[in-house]
Amino acid sequence: MNDYQTFLASKRFHAKPSGFQPKDINAKLFPFQRDIVSWACQKGKAAIFAGTGLGKTPIQLEWARQVYNESKGNVLILAPLAVAQQTVDEGHKFGVEVRLCRKQADVMPGINITNYEMLDHFDAKQFIGVVLDESSIIKAFEGKVRNQIVDSFRETPYKLACTATPAPNDHMELGNHAEFMGVMSRTEMLSAYFVHDGGKTSQWRLKGHAKTAFWKWVASWAVMLQMPSDLGYEDNGFKLPPLNIEQHVVDHTGYIVREAQTLQDRRGARRNSLDLRVAKAAELATSSEGPWLVWCDLNVEADALRKAIPGSVEIRGSDDPEKKAQAARDFAAGKINVLISKSSIFGFGLNFQVCHKMIFTGISDSFEQYYQAVRRAWRFGQTSQVDVYVVTSEAEGAVVKNIKRKEHEFEIMLKGMVANTQEICAENLKMVSRETDEYNCNLAMMLPNWVKTEIYI
């Protein structure tokens, strides 16, 4: 029987540690952040799925510093466009020097950072460690780019992936992360834990009997939390102010409105209502002092918004990286009153707590982009209620319903995912050796007389 149990145990998938014991972790980090850094260093290759605003940037910076101090090898951080400079600035706050690079020749000993788009200009073999900042972005890239990231760093000894908690129903995202870590390929993951749903193309369902084993496997290489209390820590300072979402539906007075059902119908409805939606967005953005974030989805919307909102700054995909980065810094510093852009440009990774008012001039079908865009302002460090105004046409009702449905499903499944892993993740962190100050006793122990007295019964 014992031999059989040993045989079964050998068949279980588990990410084996390949790291080291960190030293002198930055005291500026919160206790849960310090323990996550220590756990990730000891794992060597790990993922951190933490809610927006829980400090993934200082965590990854400290992890990179520890890797460099341990190995003396260079570390590369890959980040979304416009986030790299923000990370350099965060490094200054935590005493970690980060070099902003655009090519391999710019690399200096220590920690270096660049944008995902610049990966072709670097030699991955020259780095001992790599960090994927906002790592869920790899699923948004074409397959060849995702494969390039996985293949380029396949032999890299130390790896860290950081992102907000992934979509619970998007198991491919977890598979991408596992493959990047070198824990297991997506094909192996699907074969071990999932079953294909027959006629539904590309839809995989977690096997009922494999649910516990799957989440235990995930927790062997990833830590998941939405709040510090998910792992048994205090939430002091991490409770968010209220979020107020208001929908404004523009009226096609005098016209028969048919609710759009298909993607093509919705795009047509957006074009037909452009003037009305832009006028409403401009009315909102000029009704009170900013700063305001105004999100759009089409270039024609951006053009019209810029003309309709005096003093606004509009950033689009064709702008050069320096212009985008400078606009992000200026907005965060309060130098721009109204910033107009797409969530695909500024919707990931940036800290815009300076702003607590935003407008969506219509909504795309991507719930993730909506979710991430809202959390540029509604995140740790925000002290005011965040007001989100969603401007749509009557014909776009299907889009709004779709977003609301996805949001409801997301919240339910997110709680389930965290619940499935929180006990294991908390236990993993408890096993991490915490740093303690050495106690040197200078006085001899003094015992009270009653302890010294011999008692005979």
Domain boundary among 218, 237, 256: 237
Return the exposure string of 345-368: e unless at least 16 CB atoms fall within 10 Å of the residue's CB, then b. Answer: bbbbbbbbbbbbbbbbbbbbebbb
Q: Which two tokens stand for residue 82?
A: 């416009």
- Give domain status of residue 422, yes or no: no
At residue 158, the 3 state secondary structure works out as strand
Q: Which burial class, exposed, middle or buried, applies to 98 when counting CB atoms under 10 A from its CB (0-12, 13-18, 19+)?
A: buried
Residue 218 sits in the same domain as residue 363 = no
- Of the candidates 56, 59, 9, 51, which has an alpha carbon nearest to the alpha carbon of residue 34? 59
Residue 276 sits in the same domain as residue 198 = no
Total of domains in the chain: 2
- Give domain status of residue 416, yes or no: no
- Give domain status of residue 427, yes or no: no
Q: What are the tens digits of pLDDT across the range 314-341? A: 999 889 888 998 999 999 999 999 999 9
Residue 198 sits in the same domain as residue 231 = yes
- Give domain status of residue 351, yes or no: yes
**pLDDT score, position 358:** 96
Distance of CA 166 to the CA centre of its chain: 8
**pLDDT score, position 109:** 97
- The domain that holds 347 is classified in CATH as 3.40.50.300
Residue 51 sits in the same domain as residue 105 = yes
Cβ(132)–Cβ(348) below 8 Å: no
Q: Which burial class, exposed, middle or buried, applies to 141 when counting CB atoms under 10 A from its CB (0-12, 13-18, 19+)?
A: middle
In angstroms, the Cα distances linking 156 to 18, 151, 220, 384, 406 are: 12, 10, 19, 43, 37
Residue 222 sits in the same domain as residue 260 = no
H or E element: which one contains 358?
strand 357-360
Domain boundary among 202, 237, 272: 237
Q: Report strand pairing: 129-133 vs 111-115.
A: unpaired
Q: Which two tokens stand for residue 111?
A: 């920690």
- Give domain status of residue 357, yes or no: yes
Residue 261 sits in the same domain as residue 228 = no
Domain boundary among 389, 407, 425: 407
Residue 326 sits in the same domain as residue 261 = yes
- Of the candidates 31, 36, 107, which has an alpha carbon nearest to the alpha carbon of residue 68? 107
Residue 280 sits in the same domain as residue 295 = yes
Residue 63 sits in the same domain as residue 19 = yes
- Give domain status of residue 155, yes or no: yes
**pLDDT score, position 16:** 57
Cβ partners under 8 Å of residue 287, min gap 6: none
- Give domain status of residue 230, yes or no: yes
**pLDDT lower than 50: segments of the chain:** 1, 4, 7-14, 201, 254-258, 433-439, 455-457
Residue 138 sits in the same domain as residue 178 = yes
Round to whole Å and give the CA distance between 418 and 412.
10
**pLDDT score, position 457:** 43
Strand runs labelled E in 107-203: 111-115, 129-133, 158-163, 194-196
Q: What are the tens digits of pLDDT across the range 217-230? A: 988 999 988 889 98
Query: What's the pTM value of the predicted model, to 2 decimals?
Result: 0.80
Question: Tokens 């009170």 sit at which residue?
Answer: 288
Residue 212 sits in the same domain as residue 91 = yes
Range of the domain at 136: 10-237
Residue 309 sits in the same domain as residue 232 = no
- Of the candidates 217, 49, 40, which has an alpha carbon nearest to the alpha carbon of residue 134? 49
Q: Which burial class, exposed, middle or buried, applies to 323 when counting CB atoms under 10 A from its CB (0-12, 13-18, 19+)?
A: middle
- Give domain status of residue 338, yes or no: yes
